[in-house]
Amino acid sequence: MVDNSMLKEIKVEDAVGYTLAHDLTKIIPGEFKGRIFKKGHVIQKEDIPELLKIGKEHIYVLNIKEGYLHENDAAYRLAKAIAGKNVLLDEPHEGKITLTSKIFGLVKVNETLINQINSIPDLALATVFNNKVVQPGGKLAGTRALPLIIEEEKVNRAEALLEGKIAIEVKEFKKSKVGLVTTGSEVYKGRIKDRFGPIVKKKLNYFGSDVVEQRFVPDDVELIKREIEYFLKQQVDIIMLTGGMSVDPDDRTPYAIREMSTKVVTQGTPILPGSNLMIAYNNDTPILGLPGGVLHDPYTSFDVVLPRILANDPITKEEINRSGYGGYYGC
């Protein structure tokens, strides 16, 4: 418990000339919420009606003892310990510090660490979900100490937990060259026009990457393998294949991917649409089999996985197995 002798109450009418010990907030529902007086402001006669209007009949004068911290200082120390690569801090507003992204990138949040910090009484740290894609300036988290004066020991505990660990960081997207193999006799023989190429290209362009070449091939395992081999020789960053990912006799793409891979992370995901997505690697080169759903639905398993692959963020089978919870995007 905070020792009340550190807080002295003064009636607002008698407070002219005193310095505000913390930011003061005004809220007009639906219109405004924010700081109207900043910590350090010296109260003037004309401030009194405004203070009374936001419900302040008293202000605190603080005498913070050894071993305690003002909410602003606690928030700053917490935010500093939390912020990893490409994360910026603002100054405290109403005791809260907001963390934002310096870059367009993939947010990595360590959920376990966040829960450990929030288990320390009187600390509050709210973050966005892990794996969110953010723009420069995008908000990532907010943190504050709940009381105006907090035991320093609590902040020390949080700092010790965070020591040498990354709570929040933003990973950059690598500008990747993608080799696209489009299978399917109907496309190869010109019975229908390819629709996959432009869709994949648009999704890649959003992240600053591109399809460097698209090659068309009928549903034949050996011919599909040859195209994968071709792109490996070209040293593209990622190989993607479209068509033939499900259960028909002509769906040969997964066999070809399997044979050309040194590691298959998954063939299939519990994400809908896009359950037939395949993720594999030939050494360090990702090989993705894109299911037909990508042609039809705006958001599929491919959109879940693509930012991760472009940020070179490892995906495990264990994680894929957990991706069904919250992984229904409607189809």
Ligand X SMILES: Nc1nc2c(c(=O)[nH]1)N[C@H]1C(S)=C(S)[C@@H](COP(=O)(O)OP(=O)(O)OC[C@H]3O[C@@H](n4cnc5c(N)ncnc54)[C@H](O)[C@@H]3O)O[C@H]1N2
Residues forming the site for ligand MOO (CB under 6 A): 272-276, 291-293, 300, 331
HSE toward the beta carbon, residue 330, CA cutoff 13 A: 3
Distance between alpha carbon 80 and the CA centroid of its chain, in Å?
A: 18
Pick between residue 273 and residue 307 the one whose CB is nearest to ligand X.
Answer: 273
Pick between residue 267 and residue 312 the one whose CB is nearest to ligand MOO.
Answer: 267
Pick between residue 151 and residue 303 the one whose CB is nearest to ligand MOO.
Answer: 303
C-alpha to C-alpha distance for 167 and 234, rounded to whole angstroms? 38
Binding string, residues 189-208; x marks residues near ligand X by CB under 6 A: ---x-xxx------------
Among 23, 251, 297, 303, binds ligand X (CB under 6 A): 251
- Whether 171 and 105 have beta carbons less than 8 Å apart is answered as yes
Pick between residue 162 and residue 245 the one whose CB is nearest to ligand X.
Answer: 245
Pick between residue 72 and residue 300 the one whose CB is nearest to ligand MOO.
Answer: 300
Pick between residue 268 and residue 307 the one whose CB is nearest to ligand X.
Answer: 268
| Binding segment (CB under 6 A) for ligand X, from list 90-98, 147-155, 172-180, 185-193 | 185-193
Q: Residue-wise over 246-264: b if at least 16 C-beta within 10 A, else e?
A: eeeeebbbbebbbebbeeb
Pick between residue 151 and residue 194 the one whose CB is nearest to ligand X.
Answer: 194
Q: Which of residues 205-234 bind ligand X (CB under 6 A)?
A: none
Residues 6 or more apart in contact with residue 46 via CB below 8 angstroms: none
- Whether 208 and 242 have beta carbons less than 8 Å apart is answered as no
CB of 327 vs ligand X, minimal distance in Å: 13
Binder of residue 300, out of ligand MOO, ligand X, none (CB less than 5 to 8 A by kind): ligand MOO
Phi and psi angles of residue 14, each rounded to the nearest 5 degrees, phi first? -100, 10
Residues 6 or more apart in contact with residue 49 via CB below 8 angstroms: none
CB of 212 vs ligand MOO, minimal distance in Å: 24
* Secondary-structure breakdown of the chain: helix, strand, coil percentages, each rounded to the nearest 5: 30, 30, 40
Binder of residue 187, out of ligand MOO, ligand X, none (CB less than 5 to 8 A by kind): ligand X
State the DSSP H helix or E strand holding residue 126, giving kind and residue range, or none if neither: strand 123-127
Binder of residue 79, out of ligand X, ligand MOO, none (CB less than 5 to 8 A by kind): none
Q: DSSP for 199-263?
A: HHHHHHHHTT-EEEEEEEE-S-HHHHHHHHHHHHHTT-SEEEEES--SSSTT--HHHHHHHT-SE
Among 118, 246, 312, 323, binds ligand X (CB under 6 A): 246
Among 182, 214, 266, 301, binds ligand X (CB under 6 A): 182
Chain residues binding ligand X by CB under 6 A are: 182, 184, 186-187, 192, 194-196, 242-248, 251, 275-276, 291-293, 295
